[in-house]
Amino acid sequence: MDVVHQILDGDVSFFPGETAPHATGWLRHPEIYLGEWLETAEASLPRRHRRTILLGMGGSSSPARFYADWRLEGDLQVLDTTNPDTLSEVDFSSSQVIASSKSGGTVETQTLLAHALAHGLVPEDLVIITDPGTTLAELGESLGARVIYGDPETGGRYSSLSPFGLVPALYAGWSVDELREELAACALSDDLVAGALHEADRLVDLSHDGWGVFALGADPIASGAALWLEQLVAETTGKDGRGFVPVQRGPVKVYRPSEMMHYHLVAAFLAYRLGVDPFNQPDVESTKKEVFAILQGAVEWTAQPFETGDLRGALESADHRAVQAFAPFSAGGALSELRHELEATYGTTSANLGPRYLHSTGQLHKGGPRSIVGLQVIQRPTSAPTRIEGRAYSFHDLHMAQAIGDYRAMRHSGRAVYQIMVDDLTEASNVLGL
């Protein structure tokens, strides 16, 4: 039996690894969540305020950005950062807040929620989205917040058609009927599955020695859709020394939510053809361990020294350069410009903000092809540090610890990585001699 019919029959035994039987609930999400569930969820959501803020990382936040791209009339703000300057500008007192985490233990979501509750958020305006049995679910129940459960048989990056994507979409301005009409194309069919397999085969044919480039038709720094697709491809394929590097390239493409299932399947089939498990992320945990170890002591805002000649040589010889910017959201434009300058000078370059990328391309950086150079650009914050409620550290500490932690994890995995520190991201080009 070919894999198209296996997928349609619910047989996922052909995928490499051992996680597929417990991680492919997403194949059934259109039939589970686009029926009566959607109306019931919509009717239960608190709506005392016009604005809604989502706290979450990776697959708990990127689908929300994708849906929000298509509804300018909505007022959904996605807060997937620990940057203290960005957080200092957020008002939680007149907003609904969604705290979203499949595991319930995501450090960013936990600390952001603690911060929000101490700065104006009241439980009647709080929605928790998490899997059953998590500490986040227990907290939500104890506070009297609205708790919505996800599908424990689906990983974060494949949760776009589940509560992790659909609840934020409702707050972003989509109606129940609009979502059903848009996402009808996501129901499994012969043509949908066969088309995704054909696209994956074409991309694998163009790859070399287990790695290739996945062309994005938009900038993931600015486009929620491209950011979602970047995570899906990078985290699904980037492991065991193989993977596809998502990079903005070629003609501009406008992605629609109706294509979500298509790209879910494309990414899974890419991993299948590469011979890697599509549904695990074995190298993500290494950074988390480093971060928590660093937070046990004083966190210093200093970059690791290096020889300029070594960095330039590494940038010239690498197949892929990854700019990892620990900076506020407002630096996004400067980061895009820096990426373009590096790509024009050296070749294939990707870029995104930290710690966001840790839950996305970070798996590819540490587990994918070794011919990568990581370039951390750290912007010094201007806000004053204050301790996070219930923690012994501040967001200044956490933000820098995440940069240092991933630097160490990349080094330990045998990848080249360099750090520079600036007062403003616009200075990075001069520091790098571009």
One-character DSSP codes across 54-92? EE--GGGTHHHHHHHHT-TTS-EEEE----HHHHTT---
- pLDDT (0 to 100) of residue 300: 94
- pLDDT (0 to 100) of residue 130: 99
Q: Which two tokens stand for residue 322?
A: 């990854």
Q: 329-386, pLDDT tens digit by residue?
A: 999 999 999 999 999 999 999 999 999 999 999 999 999 999 999 999 999 999 999 9
Q: Which helix (H) or strand (E) holds 409?
A: helix 395-412
Q: First vs last Cα of the chain: how many Å apart?
A: 54
- Exposed e or buried b per residue across 396-432, where buried means at least 16 C-beta atoms within 10 angstroms of its C-beta: bbbbbbbbbbbbbbbeebebbbbbbbbeebeebbeeb
Q: Is 91 exposed, middle or buried (0-12, 13-18, 19+ CB in 10 A)?
A: exposed
Mean pLDDT of 187-212: 96
How far is Cα of residue 130 from the mean position of the Cα atoms in its chain?
16
Q: Are 262 and 227 in contact (CB under 8 A)?
A: no
Which residue, 278, 270, 32, is CA-closest to 165? 32
Peptide bond into 355 cis (omega under 30): yes
What does the DSSP 8-state code read for residue 9?
T
Q: Which two tokens stand for residue 73?
A: 């009339």
Reported as a pLDDT band with limits 50, 70 and 90, residue 1 is low
Mean pLDDT of 29-45: 98
Q: Where in the chain is the domain with CATH 3.40.50.10490?
A: 3-184, 284-432
Four-CA torsion 181, 185, 188, 194, nearest 10 degrees: 180
In this structure, what are the phi and psi dihedrals at residue 376, rounded to the nearest 5 degrees?
Answer: -85, 125
Write down how long the chain is: 434
- DSSP per residue, 128-141: EEE-TT-HHHHHHH
Instruction: Describe the strand order of the beta sheet including 372-379 as a list of residue ranges.
Output: 349-353, 320-326, 372-379, 416-422
**CA angle at residue 13 from 129 to 203, to 5 degrees?**
80
Which residue, 73, 263, 82, is CA-closest to 158? 263
d(C-alpha 123, C-alpha 145), whole Å:
5
Q: Which helix (H) or strand (E) holds 147?
A: strand 146-149
In this structure, what are the phi and psi dihedrals at residue 147, rounded to the nearest 5 degrees?
Answer: -110, 125
Q: 127-181, pLDDT tens digit by residue?
A: 999 999 999 999 999 999 999 999 999 999 999 999 999 999 999 999 999 999 9
Q: Has residue 198 got a pLDDT over 70? A: yes
In this structure, what are the phi and psi dihedrals at residue 196, rounded to the nearest 5 degrees?
Answer: -65, -40
Category of 191 on φ-ψ map: left (φ > 0), alpha (ψ -120 to 50) or beta: alpha
Q: Which residues contact 11 (CB under 8 A, 6 or more apart)?
A: 1
Query: How crowded is residue 143: how many other Cβ atoms within 10 Å of its Cβ?
Result: 17
pTM score above 0.95: yes
Reported as a pLDDT band with limits 50, 70 and 90, residue 224 is very high
Q: Has residue 199 got a pLDDT over 70? A: yes
Q: Are 342 and 334 in contact (CB under 8 A)?
A: no
Homologous superfamily of 3-184 in CATH? Glucose-6-phosphate isomerase like protein; domain 1 (3.40.50.10490)
- What CATH architecture does domain 284-432 belong to? 3-Layer(aba) Sandwich (3.40)
Computed from CA positions of residues 32, 36, 39, 42, in that sequence, does the dihedral angle turn out positive or negative? negative
3-state secondary structure of 30: helix
Q: 60-100, pLDDT tens digit by residue?
A: 999 999 999 999 878 999 999 999 999 999 999 999 999 99
